[in-house]
């Protein structure tokens, strides 16, 4: 028997719920459910499966030393805004053991034999290899940071920020070398958040983005506001800037893009992630056009008794109707719930995950920026003829103190008036984005939003919500 299996059985015996080992080993009366990956989707799937099936054997294999990490909190851990490292570990292996779920960290699943339902595993701590089997499997291998092939990317002081261990390494380096000049390469969600948090550590921060603007998932109106805000806060922004080389001698000392050079004694590279699908692909699972694992609405892969969830799968963007790969923690959580429930229930399970809207939000210093559905550019690429309206207005009743400003842009299908997307930047952005996300989810049109009954009081918004104001302007253009 493999060591992992021995340990699991001892946990199960402790829980005191199961019959003698010998009986179980022989008859396989109890279903064995395995999750590959233990961040958001994998652990959620395991927890849901346990609720659905109190008897099943459930094991989670996880490469990193901690499962159930809140990855979205990592930028805030860098600056100390989130100070307690433990608080980022939503649940420890011991927590899961209490629910009779075995979580084996530092274990990599190297091969899935889908025909025989067997797994090849390596214990990264000991190097030991062993096999396991499953009755049903959930693949939740997530996504990993793209490492661009830049000379000098292996210099000391050049980091990624994907796992808690990455944050540990950055903080260790900061403590040891007290870097003064930091460069964040990549101005997506994580890049923008990291730039702010390095600034809070007292560093002189530059942000470098290869695309023509920061936050490229957004239209230029929002990107300009973000760039202006960053510059106001003292973060220098370089767009259309493709890093060609990190320079230094053992430790990083700078970087070069075009004919420009910047000094840097700390670099974080965050130019995107890609789905970790090799394991699934080698096992024969169908891969979608986005490069992520293809699943049906029940999160079932093309392999028998194998489900998948989280950053490694593709889904549908319900605003465009097209396949989409959207690696975000909340979506991974929701997918994990569906995959875990269905894997526990088996073929007759009918829980569905309908798709996503690509909703997202980030805070950069005092500016909240979010979107739901498609940007105008994304809607056009998806083949829609679009009508849009962007307005800037007060975020509270104009006479109420601390009324801020907010920009909101709505994008809709010119033919039907259906809301396709919304972008928001400014005070109270999170509320307006979620209202628009809900409207898109409900397939409401812009004219539907003109008379929507949202809740009004002076401390919470202007008498007519910015959503209503923008919808009114847009409806006049349809």
Residue 58: CB minimum distance to a copy of itself, A: 20
CB of 141 or CB of 469, closer to a copy of itself: 469
Residue 148: CB minimum distance to a copy of itself, A: 25
Of 2, 382, 452, 473, the one binding a copy of itself by CB under 8 A:
452
By CB under 8 A, what part of segment 314-373 binds a copy of itself? 318, 328-331, 333-334, 337-338, 352-363, 368, 370-372
Span of 200-208, 280-288, 383-391, 394-402 interacting with a copy of itself by CB under 8 A: 394-402
Contact assessment for residue 411 and residue 371, using Cβ atoms and an 8 Å cutoff: no
Residue 434: CB minimum distance to a copy of itself, A: 5
Alpha helices by DSSP H, listed for 142-188, are 164-177
Q: Transcribe 225-240 into DSSP letters.
A: HHHHHHHHHT-EEE-S
Tokens of 393: 């207005």
Q: Transcribe 267-314 into DSSP letters.
A: EEE---EEE--HHHHHTT--B-TTSSBP--TT-B-SSTTEEE-STTB-
CB of 248 or CB of 461, closer to a copy of itself: 461
Q: Which of 301, 352, 290, 302 is nearest to 327 (CA)?
A: 290
CA separation, residue 149 to residues 153, 224, 242, 245, 246 (Å) = 7, 29, 12, 9, 11
Give the H or E element holding residue 123: strand 118-123
The residue assigned the tokens 């995950």 is 353
Interface with a copy of itself, residue 458, by CB under 8 A: yes
- Across the beta sheet with 266-269, what order do the strands follow? 158-159, 266-269, 181-185, 204-208, 236-238
CB of 70 or CB of 120, closer to a copy of itself: 70
Answer positive or negative: Cα dihedral of 18, 23, 26, 29: negative
CB of 284 or CB of 329, closer to a copy of itself: 329
Residue 371: CB minimum distance to a copy of itself, A: 7
Of 82, 216, 217, 287, the one binding a copy of itself by CB under 8 A:
82
Catalytic choice (2, 72, 312, 446) = 72
Residue 431: CB minimum distance to a copy of itself, A: 4
Contact assessment for residue 146 and residue 274, using Cβ atoms and an 8 Å cutoff: yes
Of 400, 405, 414, 478, the one binding a copy of itself by CB under 8 A:
400
CB of 149 or CB of 401, closer to a copy of itself: 401
CB of 2 or CB of 351, closer to a copy of itself: 351
The residue assigned the tokens 């005191």 is 16
Pairing of strands 136-139, 306-308: parallel
CB of 303 or CB of 324, closer to a copy of itself: 324
The terminus-to-terminus CA distance of the chain in angstroms comes to 68
Q: How many residues does the chain have?
A: 478
Span of 84-92, 178-186, 263-271, 406-414 interacting with a copy of itself by CB under 8 A: 84-92
Of 2, 155, 345, 454, the one binding a copy of itself by CB under 8 A:
454
Within 10 angstroms of residue 239's Cβ, the number of other Cβ atoms is: 16
Of 431, 466, 471, 474, the one binding a copy of itself by CB under 8 A:
431
Interface with a copy of itself, residue 173, by CB under 8 A: no
CB of 258 or CB of 459, closer to a copy of itself: 459
Residue 394: CB minimum distance to a copy of itself, A: 12
Q: Where are the beta strands (DSSP E) in 314-469?
A: 315-317, 322-324, 360-364, 367-373, 386-394, 405-413, 419-426
The residue assigned the tokens 């209503």 is 468
Q: Which of 457, 451, 405 is nearest to 426 (CA)?
A: 405
By CB under 8 A, what part of segment 202-261 binds a copy of itself? none
CB of 130 or CB of 460, closer to a copy of itself: 460
By CB under 8 A, what part of segment 40-69 binds a copy of itself? 40
Q: How many residues bind a copy of itself (CB under 8 A)?
A: 72
d(CA 125, CA 129): 11
Interface with a copy of itself, residue 451, by CB under 8 A: yes
Count of H-run helices and E-run strands, the chain: 14, 25
Of 33, 161, 312, 437, the one binding a copy of itself by CB under 8 A:
437
Residue 218: CB minimum distance to a copy of itself, A: 13
Of 177, 347, 457, 477, the one binding a copy of itself by CB under 8 A:
457
d(CA 48, CA 342): 9
Asked if 412 is an active-site residue, the reply is: no
By CB under 8 A, what part of segment 88-117 binds a copy of itself? 88
Interface with a copy of itself, residue 392, by CB under 8 A: no
Of 70, 302, 322, 323, the one binding a copy of itself by CB under 8 A:
70
Active site residues: 72
């Amino acid at each position: 028997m493999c060591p992992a299996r021995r340990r699991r059985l001892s946990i199960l015996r402790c829980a005191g719920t199961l019959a003698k080992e010998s009986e179980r080993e022989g008859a396989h009366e109890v279903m064995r459910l395995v999750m590959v990956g233990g961040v958001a989707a994998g652990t959620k799937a395991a927890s849901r499966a346990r609720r659905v099936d109190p008897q099943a054997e459930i094991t989670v294999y996880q490469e990193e030393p901690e499962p159930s990490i809140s990855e979205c909190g990592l930028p805030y851990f860098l600056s100390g805004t989130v100070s307690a490292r433990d608080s980022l570990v939503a649940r420890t292996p011991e927590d899961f053991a209490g629910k009779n779920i075995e979580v084996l960290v530092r274990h990599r699943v190297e091969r899935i034999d889908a025909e025989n339902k067997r797994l090849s595993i390596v214990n990264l701590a000991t190097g030991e290899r062993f096999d396991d089997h499953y009755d049903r499997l959930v693949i939740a291998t997530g996504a990993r940071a793209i490492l661009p092939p830049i000379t000098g990317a292996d210099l000391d002081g050049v980091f990624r920020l994907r796992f808690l261990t990455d944050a540990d390494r950055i903080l260790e380096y900061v403590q040891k070398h007290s870097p003064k000049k930091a460069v964040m390469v990549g101005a997506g969600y994580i890049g923008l958040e990291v730039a702010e948090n390095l600034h809070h550590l007292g560093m002189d921060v530059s942000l470098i983005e290869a695309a023509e603007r920061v936050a490229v998932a957004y239209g230029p109106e929002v990107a300009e506001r973000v760039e202006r805000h960053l510059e106001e806060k003292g973060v220098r922004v370089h767009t259309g800037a493709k890093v060609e080389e990190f320079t230094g001698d053992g430790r990083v000392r700078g970087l070069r893009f075009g004919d420009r050079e910047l000094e840097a004694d700390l670099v974080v590279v965050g130019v995107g992630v890609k789905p970790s699908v090799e394991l699934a692909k080698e096992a024969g699972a169908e891969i979608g056009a986005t490069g992520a694992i293809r699943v049906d609405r029940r999160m079932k892969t093309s392999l028998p008794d194998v489900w998948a969830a989280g950053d490694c799968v593709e889904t549908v963007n319900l605003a465009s109707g097209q396949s989409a790969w959207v690696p975000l923690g909340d979506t991974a959580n929701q997918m994990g719930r569906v995959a875990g429930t269905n894997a526990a229930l088996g073929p007759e399970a009918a829980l569905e995950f309908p798709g996503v809207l690509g909703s997202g939000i980030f805070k950069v210093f005092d500016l909240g920026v979010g979107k739901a559905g498609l940007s105008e550019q994304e809607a056009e690429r998806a083949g829609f003829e679009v009508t849009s309206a962007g307005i800037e207005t007060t975020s509270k009743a104009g006479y109420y103190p601390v009324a801020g400003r907010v920009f909101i842009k709505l994008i809709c299908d010119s033919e039907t008036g259906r809301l396709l997307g919304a972008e928001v930047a400014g005070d109270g952005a999170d509320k307006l984005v979620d209202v628009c996300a809900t409207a898109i989810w409900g397939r409401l049109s812009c004219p539907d939003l003109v008379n929507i009954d949202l809740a009004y009081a002076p401390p919470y918004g202007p008498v007519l919500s910015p959503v209503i104001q923008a919808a009114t302007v847009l409806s006049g253009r349809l």
